[in-house]
Amino acid sequence: MAEFNDNLWAPWRMDYIRSLDHEAEEDGCFLCRYWQQPDNDRDHHVVWRTANTFAVMNRFPYTNGHLLIALSQHKGDFADLSEDELTEMTRSIRDGVAVLRKVLKPHGMNVGYNLGRCAGAGLPDHLHAHIVPRWNGDTNFMAIIGNSRVIPDALDTLWNDLVRCAKESGLVD
Ligand SMILES: [Zn+2]
């Protein structure tokens, strides 16, 4: 992500980077934990689930609406994915793009995978795609969000909007 988002200033991501090794030791894989706790989807900001994937808002977003499309299983290598998993990842990315387009009306989006830590992956062993909405002149995300302390509230509010749109789109029962 760092490569194509060098112009975005998201200082709270330093907290994330510092927490990575600590979190890995303390809590295991957060994507596995989220998948295994469907009753906590609101707290975790999981937006919808399919048989083999789920969409979750990034707690340390590059921009408003930064979504992760994650595999349900703890696999980090494309070579290990079944045909169903490959297809569902692509479909969920398609749906994520559609939901973000409806709710946030971005001017563009970055969609991609970071494979390996040197490529920017915080969680290299659990495959997930990033969808990052972009706006013309969005180099200063702070203008939208204000400061890192309002992030949790902003996430809750947007989660409600995304889930409503996902329901209207038939992604959530
Ligand atoms: Zn995992």
Q: Can you give the pTM of this predicted structure? A: 0.81
**Any domain includes 150:** yes
Neighbouring residues of the ion ligand 1, judged by CB less than 5 Å: 29, 31-32, 74, 126
**Any domain includes 57:** yes
**Any domain includes 2:** no
Enter the tokens of residue 137: 């002149």
Distance 91 CA to ligand 1 centre (A): 20
Task: Provide the domain count of the chain.
Answer: 1
* Dist CA 16 CA 1 (whole Å): 14
* Dist CA 60 CA 130 (whole Å): 12
**Any domain includes 1:** no
Distance 100 CA to ligand 1 centre (A): 25
Q: Mean of the per-residue pLDDT values for the chain?
A: 84
Distance 155 CA to ligand 1 centre (A): 22
Distance 92 CA to ligand 1 centre (A): 18
Q: Is 107 one of the catalytic residues?
A: no
Distance 1 CA to ligand 1 centre (A): 20
pLDDT single digits (tens) 30-76: 999 999 999 999 999 999 999 999 999 998 888 889 999 999 999 99
**Any domain includes 54:** yes
Domain that holds residue 69: 13-168
DSSP 7-56: T---TTHHHHHHHHHHHHHHH--HHHHHHH-GGGHHHHTEEEE-SSEEEE
* Residue 134 contacts residue 107 (beta carbons within 8 Å): yes
Q: What is the CATH number for 99?
A: 3.30.428.10
**Any domain includes 173:** no
**Any domain includes 5:** no
Burial of 63 (0-12, 13-18, 19+ CB in 10 A): buried
pLDDT attached to residue 141: 54
**Any domain includes 137:** yes
pLDDT single digits (tens) 116-150: 888 888 888 999 999 999 888 776 554 444 444 44
